[in-house]
């Protein structure tokens, strides 16, 4: 390491939460090295491939030299218009493709950069806990202070906005929400979103809903968009992504839609940091949004079958789990006598099963583990069999 007289890392970097899982990672690597057949339900990355009609468009576009240049900052016109069409068709919400839509290098990129546009030093942002960590980290990197909103089971994993004290709600600038939710798999209805819009108008807040799982739904349920709600576009934006809907996590393409001023703020930050998304990827993403949607239907069928096997199996083993109506996660209470890390460790060590400890998503995730439905149905059955064999051996 360089021998610096000064503190090598910035205060902001030092403020980021510590990485909690190094010992779990080591244990997992150790098992793999020893030849254990590890079942990985830890990462939220689809195991299914991108549909071939999307890949065909990518390959063809890649051969056209005019696609090799710097892309535009805000995204190709045809991609932004495809997003507008898709939202109109799916949620009956309309946007101006020039002012209310911005292409992102995956929604994570936009979420991480958005606070830079709106927070001054020590400004507050309200973030759910447990949550996708980027809301909190984006806030810290922008010099802001994240204020946790606990997502508790007794509130169906929604934040209790009425519990936020007056000083906090008056001074906060951003409110992050994420439904369908990672990691709890909770969903939100129009009434909750109405409450959020009213709260944001009363307290002059920017609302960011992360709707990355809008198309992973089951049993006749269909998640709404936050922006369907009256006045929502006056206070907020929604992030969405092709990652989960079209199994395109590695492609790095997502977008933000909604309030023109908020979109413009993020756009100004991005103009000064990145230079857009490879046009070839945008052309293929346009095909994804406007082309045959049967791949999305197929996806849902696969996840539903896996969910049914996992949830039924866990319930038979006396786990406290709810059948999720959306997302590809199952959020389960850890058995008595364990916390989320010790139980995750127990599962790797004794059954070769990798899950994510809830505490990795925030302190209110303690007491839970998250299973991702990203292995085949046979592997999930095997996972249940292995847990069953642990009965009497510490379970």
Q: Which helix (H) or strand (E) holds 239?
A: strand 236-241
Nearer to ligand PLP, 203 or 241 (CB): 241
Angle in degrees, CA 366, 372, 373, rounded to 5: 150
**Interacting residues with ligand PLP between 333 and 372 (CB under 6 A):** none
Contacting range for ligand PLP; rule: CB under 6 A; set: 64-72, 101-109, 300-308, 317-325: 101-109
159 near ligand PLP (CB under 6 A): no
Contacting range for ligand PLP; rule: CB under 6 A; set: 104-112, 153-161, 299-307, 374-382: 104-112
247 near ligand PLP (CB under 6 A): no
DSSP notation for 337-379: T--HHHHHHHHHHHH-EE-EEGGGG-GGGTTEEEEE--S-HHH
8 Å CB contact between 237 and 263: yes
Please give the Cα distance from 74 to 83 (Å, whole number): 13
Q: Is the dihedral of CA 4, 10, 14, 20 positive or negative?
A: negative
Quote the tokens at residue 18: 């510590």
133 near ligand PLP (CB under 6 A): no
Q: How far is the CB of 36 from ligand PLP (least distance, A)?
A: 27
Please give the Cα distance from 207 to 234 (Å, whole number): 10
249 near ligand PLP (CB under 6 A): yes
> Binder to ligand PLP among 50, 74, 107, 340 (CB under 6 A)?
107
Contacting range for ligand PLP; rule: CB under 6 A; set: 49-57, 148-156, 239-247, 301-309: 239-247
Query: Going residue by residue from 44 to 63, which x/- string records binding to ligand PLP, judged by CB under 6 A?
Result: x-------------------
Please give the Cα distance from 119 to 110 (Å, whole number): 15
Q: How far is the CB of 107 from ligand PLP (least distance, A)?
A: 4
8 Å CB contact between 177 and 196: yes
* Residue located via tokens 């990462």: 43
Q: How many CB atoms lie within 10 A of CB 133?
A: 15
> Binder to ligand PLP among 50, 185, 209, 243 (CB under 6 A)?
243
> Binder to ligand PLP among 40, 241, 247, 299 (CB under 6 A)?
241
Nearer to ligand PLP, 116 or 351 (CB): 116
> Binder to ligand PLP among 51, 74, 178, 247 (CB under 6 A)?
178
Please give the Cα distance from 275 to 185 (Å, whole number): 34
Q: Is the dihedral of CA 67, 73, 75, 80 positive or negative?
A: negative
Beta-bridge partner residues of 125: 146, 174
Please give the Cα distance from 262 to 209 (Å, whole number): 13
Query: Going residue by residue from 250 to 289, which x/- string records binding to ligand PLP, judged by CB under 6 A?
Result: ----x-----------------------------------
> What are the helix (H) ranges across the chain?
11-15, 22-33, 52-62, 77-91, 107-118, 134-141, 166-171, 190-203, 232-235, 260-271, 279-290, 294-316, 340-351, 377-389
374 near ligand PLP (CB under 6 A): no
Q: HSE of 147 in the Cβ direction (CA atoms, 13 Å)?
A: 19
Nearer to ligand PLP, 208 or 351 (CB): 208
Nearer to ligand PLP, 241 or 282 (CB): 241
**Interacting residues with ligand PLP between 203 and 222 (CB under 6 A):** 210, 212
182 near ligand PLP (CB under 6 A): yes
Nearer to ligand PLP, 107 or 203 (CB): 107
* Helices first, then strands: H and E counts in the chain: 14, 12
Contacting range for ligand PLP; rule: CB under 6 A; set: 91-99, 102-110, 115-123, 153-161: 102-110
> Binder to ligand PLP among 46, 106, 236, 324 (CB under 6 A)?
106
Contacting range for ligand PLP; rule: CB under 6 A; set: 70-78, 165-173, 243-251, 359-367: 243-251
Q: How far is the CB of 87 from ligand PLP (least distance, A)?
A: 16
By CB under 6 A, name the binding residues for ligand PLP.
44, 106-108, 132, 178, 182, 210, 212, 241, 243-244, 249, 254
């Amino acid at each position: 390491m360089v021998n610096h007289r000064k503190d090598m890392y910035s205060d902001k970097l030092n403020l980021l939460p510590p990485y909690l899982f190094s010992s779990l990672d080591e244990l997992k690597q150790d098992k793999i090295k020893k030849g254990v057949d590890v079942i990985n339900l830890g990462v939220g990355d689809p195991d299914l491939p991108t549909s071939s009609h999307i890949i065909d468009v990518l390959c063809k576009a890649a051969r056209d030299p005019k696609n090799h240049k710097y892309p535009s900052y805000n995204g190709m016109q045809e991609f932004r218009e495809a997003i507008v069409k898709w939202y109109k068709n799916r949620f009956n919400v309309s946007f101006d493709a020039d002012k209310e839509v911005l292409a992102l290098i995956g929604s994570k990129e936009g979420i991480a950069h958005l606070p830079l546009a709106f927070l001054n030093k020590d400004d507050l942002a309200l973030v759910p806990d447990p949550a996708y960590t980027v809301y909190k980290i984006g806030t810290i990197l922008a010099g802001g202070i994240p204020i946790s909103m606990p997502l508790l089971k007794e509130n169906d994993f929604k934040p209790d906005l009425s519990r936020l004290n007056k000083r906090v709600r008056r001074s906060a600038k951003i409110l992050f929400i994420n439904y369908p939710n990672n990691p709890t798999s909770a969903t939100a209805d129009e009434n909750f979103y109405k409450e959020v819009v009213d709260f944001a108008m009363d307290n002059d807040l920017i609302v960011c809903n992360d709707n990355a799982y809008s198309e992973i739904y089951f049993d006749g349920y269909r998640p709404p968009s936050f922006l369907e709600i009256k006045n929502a576009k006056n206070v907020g934006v929604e992030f969405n992504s092709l990652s989960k809907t079209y199994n395109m996590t590695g492609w790095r393409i997502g977008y933000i839609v909604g309030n023109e001023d908020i979109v413009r703020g993020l756009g100004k930050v991005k103009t000064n940091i990145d230079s857009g998304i490879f046009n070839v990827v945008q052309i293929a993403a346009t095909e994804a949004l406007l082309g045959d949607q049967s791949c999305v239907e197929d996806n849902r069928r696969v996840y539903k079958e896996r969910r049914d096997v996992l949830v039924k199996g866990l319930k038979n083993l006396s786990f406290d789990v709810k059948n999720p109506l959306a997302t590809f996660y199952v959020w389960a209470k850890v058995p008595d006598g364990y916390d989320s890390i010790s139980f995750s460790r127990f599962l790797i060590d004794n059954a070769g099963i990798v899950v994510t400890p809830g505490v990795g998503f925030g302190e209110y995730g303690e007491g839970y583990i998250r299973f991702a439905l990203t292995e085949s149905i046979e592997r999930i059955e095997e996972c249940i069999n292995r847990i069953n064999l642990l009965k009497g051996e510490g379970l």
